[in-house]
Structures are given as C-alpha cells and as structure tokens.
Amino acid sequence: LRDTLLEVIDLWLSLKFGNEGKLFLEKLKGVEDVEKLKEVKELIMKARTLGELEELLKALL
C-alpha cells in the first residue's frame, strides 16, 4: 500500500506542480506511516501552490 500511495502522490505532484513537484517527492520517500501518506495525498489536492503544500506538511511531518 505504501508504494502505491507514493506512486499516486508522485503522479499528483507531477500533474499539479510539474518538475518541482517531482523533486518534492524525495522528501516523502522516508515516510513509512501509511496514514501520513494518505494525509499527504489529501493535502496535495487542497494546496494551490507548492509553497502552500510545504507549509501544510510542516505540521504533519
């Protein structure tokens, strides 16, 4: 499930934020908690900018 979530997150980051989004994925590869990854997925959908996403994730990670 973790690997699938990372693939989904990778796709969302790429579609929403382009190459910068893909670079952001590197920060998430160390996250083992599946529930946190699910929350990250939701935050990606809500965030309007990569900067906004980073701010939202500071509280989560």
Q: pLDDT band for 4, please (50, 70, 90 cuts).
A: very high
> What pLDDT does residue 55 have?
93
Q: pLDDT (tens digit, 9 = 90+) per residue, 6-61?
A: 999 999 999 999 988 888 888 888 999 999 999 999 999 999 999 999 999 888 88
CA distance 6 to 40: 10
> What pLDDT does residue 51 have?
93
Q: Where are the domains of the chain?
A: 2-60
CA distance 20 to 38: 21
